[in-house]
Amino acid sequence: MDKQIVTIERHIVEQERSYPGATGVFSNLLYDVALAAKIIARETTRAGLVNVLGRAGSVNIQGEEQMKLDVFANETIIRMNSFTGRLAVMASEENDDIIPITDYEPGKYVLVFDPLDGSSNIDVNVSIGTIFGIYRRLSDAGPGTLADCLQKGRDLVAAGYVIYGSSTMMVYTTGQGVHGFTLDPSLGEFLLSHPDIRVPSKPLYYSVNQGNEPYWSEGVRRFTHWLLGPRDGDGKPLSGRYIGSLVADFHRNLLRGGIFYYPADSKRPSGKLRLLYEAIPLAFIAEQAGGYASDGRRNILDIQPETLHQRTPLFIGNRDLVEKAEEFIAQYDK
């Protein structure tokens, strides 16, 4: 495929062929997400020109003032998926409760998503992103339930993100590797640009907000000190790169190798990032690309979500670096 022009739609069909019993519903769901991403991308590139900057005058469940663009992104994804018959229920970072499909025949899939992560960066033109995960519903019929949304990452059937940066890229996995597509705005098509992404074995970067160091545990402080040293003779020192936009930091480390971590600290005992629609989908992608994601003690994909918006500490990237963080935490943070 690497010499051909492959659109994301064609790639999804190719992936579907690996599932003999596939009915096309799952593929169409992925198309819908890609289309929503194109619509959001168009607004993000116009953000400076159209009145989508600034405050929407509302506050989400996180207590964060909603930027107009994240309200737009949220509504775009919800409208795109509410009348297709593919979903039973959705859960969004921007909505307090689940969004069950009630005005249309409910389908067999579940979509959890953060419509626009890092939206506080919109007004300073820093890359932002959409993160999503797709599950099969657990309930038998009718509108989906909270339990349909609260599933372990091990049970994901797909996960992906869109990064709205110098170019717009969509990266997704259905459990058959990780594949990246770059949007050609002149065509309105996501074209395969990064087939079979694998985390490079030699990491280049570490990404953490060191402004929080006074609040870190002993284990996290010692891990960071180790990270900035010779690392058991593993190679040259890592460079610090921290954008403050999860998707952007994750994407760079996925392509170049490295670790991103937002640990628990004395201010945030459960960490800052969200388990269901941030950590879990990215953990699935990281593992599919040969990496690993942990909350500092266990695999993110093995954590049973208890509530929609629960937070988790997150260490994600090269497996050896994440496992070293777990070792320091196990040794020093009883």
Residue among 134 and 279 whose Cβ is closer to ligand P6P:
279
CB distance 70 to 80 below 8 Å: no
- Angstrom CA distances, 23 to 15, 18, 137, 144, 173, stand at 13, 12, 16, 20, 18
Residue among 30 and 77 whose Cβ is closer to ligand P6P:
77
Binding interface with ligand P6P (CB under 6 A): 117-118, 120, 209, 244-246, 249, 272
Which SS3 state, helix, strand or coil, does residue 74 take? helix
Q: Which residue has the tokens 């690996």?
A: 18
Closest separation between CB of residue 250 and ligand P6P, Å? Answer: 8
Closest separation between CB of residue 262 and ligand P6P, Å? Answer: 6
Please give the structure tokens belonging to residue 20: 């003999």
Closest separation between CB of residue 92 and ligand P6P, Å? Answer: 14
Residue among 95 and 120 whose Cβ is closer to ligand P6P:
120
Residue among 118 and 143 whose Cβ is closer to ligand P6P:
118
CB distance 179 to 295 below 8 Å: no
Q: Which residue has the tokens 């970072």?
A: 93
User: Would you put residue 33 in left (φ > 0), alpha (ψ -120 to 50) or beta?
Assistant: alpha
Q: How many CB atoms lie within 10 A of CB 97?
A: 11
Closest separation between CB of residue 207 and ligand P6P, Å? Answer: 8
Pairing relationship of beta strands 99-100 and 128-136 according to DSSP bridges: unpaired
Residue among 118 and 305 whose Cβ is closer to ligand P6P:
118
Closest separation between CB of residue 254 and ligand P6P, Å? Answer: 14
